[in-house]
Amino acid sequence: MNSWHSDNRTRSIYRVTILGLVVNLLLLLFKLVAGVVGRSGAMLADAVHSASDLATDVVVLLFVRISRKPRDKDHDWGHGKYETFASLLIAVALAVVGVNILIDSARAIDAVSHGEVLPRPGAIALVAAAVSIVVKELLFRYTICVGRRCDSPSVVANSWHHRSDALSSVGTLIGVGAAYFLGEEWRIADPVAAIVVAALIIKVSYDLSRTALEELLEKSLPEDVERRILDTALSLPGVEDPHNLRTRRIGHGVAIELHIRVDEMMTVRESHEITRRLEQRLKEQFGAASAIAIHVEPRK
């Protein structure tokens, strides 16, 4: 990836992540006040979720800077997988938040089953939940758009953390609304809704961690993508029998190793030109940051 595109990508990632950090900080403060003043345990749990969002924004800012470093003597393939590692940390943070909400909600339901009456929340908790839903959904849409455009797994993962916060606030709004408007017997709706939200958060965490682990464990690119690589090689005049294809992702780029056969009478200069053109075509498809190695063999 040339310097201009790399700098633009980094600036875009920093911009959207810093925006998320500021929004999460403001929402965290608002939810804490709403939870305390409005006597809402669900809103306080929602505030904790926003705090985890704030932490993951810091993780993204840190690891994107590291992943941008060029290859060195200790990292022959560059530092791209630091970004993948960041997405795994975000997935773990999501899982922790989801499990904690699940446990707290189960305790609240158990308390109600033993005759405890949950307190009626204040209207400010309803307002905070509604504001959080709208703001975090908008932030999710903007962040995932930037993440996909920049091909950044950590930013995409962070966008889903924003969505999980919006879902958490939906559960909070339902629970707080039922407790506020429908009376004592409906106050159990708060922890019940929170359990549903926790399950959704854990599901998002599972999906993100699976993708990150597949990359960290060197899973090959999808079969249709590998087929496209072979077809690209065969589209060049002089290339025959592309084989021994090995692929994997490295952060926002890919690594491709491929053997091709050419006419045994071809000069070194001619075969080098073929590999140069093939490498150029593959980088046009998969990004200039991709690591491509092509080995030339004589035709049998």
Mean pLDDT of 130-135: 94
* Nearby residues of 267 by Cβ (< 8 Å), 6 or more positions away: none
Q: Is the Cβ–Cβ distance between 121 and 180 less than 8 Å? A: yes
Judge residue 161's burial from the number of C-beta atoms within 10 Å of its C-beta, 0-12 exposed, 13-18 middle, 19 or more buried. buried
Kindly list the structural domains of the chain, giving each domain's residue range(s) and its CATH number in brackets, ordered by start. Answer: 3-216 (1.20.1510.10), 223-298 (3.30.70.1350)
Contact call for residues 157 and 87 (beta carbons, < 8 A) = yes
DSSP 109-152: HHHHHTTPPPPPPPHHHHHHHHHHHHHHHHHHHHHHHHHHHTT-
**SS3 for 264?**
coil
Transcribe 193-255 into DSSP letters: HHHHHHHHHHHHHHHHHHHHHHHHTTPPPPHHHHHHHHHHHHTSTT-EEEEEEEEEEETTEEE
For the stretch 141-167, pLDDT in tens is 999 999 988 878 778 888 887 888 888
pLDDT at residue 77, as a whole number: 61
Question: Per-residue pLDDT for 70 more than 90?
Answer: no
Q: Ramachandran region of residue 218, left (φ > 0), alpha (ψ -120 to 50) or beta?
A: left
Structure tokens at 94: 């999501």
Residues 283 and 262: beta-carbon distance below 8 Å: no
pTM for the structure as a whole = 0.64
User: What is the chain's mean pLDDT, rounded?
Assistant: 83
- Weakest-pLDDT range from 17-26, 37-46, 228-237: 37-46
Counted residue by residue, the chain has a size of 300
Q: What is the pLDDT of residue 231?
A: 93
Q: Taking residues 107-127, what's their average pLDDT?
A: 85
Q: Backbone phi, then psi, for 119, in 5-degree steps?
A: -70, 150
- CB-based burial, 119-134: b 16+ in 10 Å, e otherwise: eebbebbbebbbbbbe
CA atoms within 13 A of residue 282's CA, in its CB half-sphere: 30
pLDDT mean over 237-254: 85
pLDDT digits (tens, 9 = 90+) for 184-243: 888 888 778 778 777 877 887 888 888 888 877 778 888 999 999 999 999 999 999 999
